Structure 1
Amino acid sequence: MNHRSAAFTVAYALMRVAADHADHWGQRDFDAQCKGATDEAPVEYKHEDGTTVTVGTDGGRRACARHVVNYTATQGLVLVAGTRALGIRLHPAAVAAALAVSGLTHYAADRRVPDGLLQRLAKATGKERFYKLSDFGMNGPYCLDQSWHHSWETLAAAVASIKARTA
C-alpha cells in the first residue's frame, strides 16, 4: 500500500469517528434543536431551568454555525492527533481544505430550513417518499443526512491525503 492510500484510509476512519462523536455526543441540545430554525418556522426551545426561548433565522444560523465549528474542530483535532500518532504527516493546506469541505457541506445539510437542501435533493432524485419516512424504526431525513455527511467526508479524506508522507 502506498503512502497516499494509507493516509486516505486513516484520514477517513479518523474523520468518520470524530464526526460521529461530534454530531451526536458532542452536539449541544440547543444547537441540535434550533439549527434549522427560521423566522417562518421558529423553534420554541425550553431550557433545563424551565425558561423558554423562541429561535428564528438568526438564532438558527448561529446554532448551526456553533455546531459546525465544534464538529469541524473535533474532526481536525482527531485527524491531526491520530495521523501524528500513526506516523503519517498530512500537508497543512490539505488538512485545511479537507476540513473546509467537511464543515461547509455539513452546514449546508444541517441548516435544514423548510424545503432545505437535502429535502430538495431527495425530491429531485426521486427519494422524497424516503425523505418523509418516519416509521418502522426509520427516519428518512436522518438517514439521508448521514449519507450526505459520509459522502463528503470521503472526499475530504481524499483531499487530506494529498501530499501525505510517513514520518
Structure 2
Amino acid sequence: MAKGKTAGALACAEHVATYTATQAVALAAVQRATGMRLSWRRAALGLAVSAVTHYVADRQGGHWRDEQPRGVVRLAAATGHSGWLQRDPNAGYLMDQAWHKGWIFVAALVAAGGEES
C-alpha cells in the first residue's frame, strides 16, 4: 500500500483529506437531519483530531513487523503487545482498526463537547 511507504506521504495525505471530507459531509447531514447544533469550531477540531490520528496510523502501514518499530508499533511494544504483532498475521490490521475507532470516539467527544460561544 503506497500510503505506508516513505514516498507515500502524499498518497496518505490525499486519502486522509478525502476521508475527512466524507466525515464532514456525514456530520453535516446528521446535524441537518436531527436538528443537532454543534459549534463549528468544535466540529472542526474533532475532524482535525480524526485526520491527524488517521494519518499517523496509516503511515505505519506495512511496518508492523519492522526491526525498528515506529509510532503505533512502538505503542504496542510499550504496552506488551509486540509478541502478538509478530505471531498473529491479523494483529497489525486489528490494532490499526482499534486505533482508528478509538480516535474516532475521541474526535466525536471533542466535536460534541462544550457549548456554542
The TM-score bracket by the shorter chain reads: 0.7 to 0.9
- Between the aligned partners of 1:156 and 1:149, the Cα distance in structure 2 is 10
Kindly indicate which of the two structures has a greater share of residues assigned to strand: 1
What value does the CA root-mean-square deviation take over the aligned residues?
Answer: 1.6
Aligned residue number for residue 72 of structure 2: 118
Which 4+ residue blocks in structure 1 deviate beyond 4 angstroms? Answer: none
Aligned to 2:111: 160
Q: What's the TM-score, normalizing by structure 2?
A: 0.86
Higher-Rg member (1/2): 1
Runs (5+) with no aligned partner, structure 1 = 1-32, 39-56
Structure 2 portions without partners, runs of 5+: 64-68
Q: Evaluate the alpha carbon distance shift between residue 163 and residue 84 of structure 1 in structure 2; reply closer, same or farther with a 3 A threshold.
A: farther
Matched, 1:93 2:41: yes
CA distance in 1, matches of 2:29, 2:75: 35
Larger helix share, 1 or 2: 2
Query: Which of 28, 32, 37 is matched with 1:80 structurally?
Result: 28
- Structure 1, residues 37-79: CA drift from partner, whole Å, max 9, x if none? 12xxxxxxxxxxxxxxxxxx2xx10011011001111111101
Following TM superposition, by how much is the alpha carbon of 1:151 offset from its aligned partner in structure 2, in angstroms?
1.0
TM-score (norm: length of structure 1)? 0.61
- Report how many residues are paired: 109
Residue 143 of structure 1 is aligned with which of 94, 98, 113? Answer: 94
Q: Percent identity?
A: 45
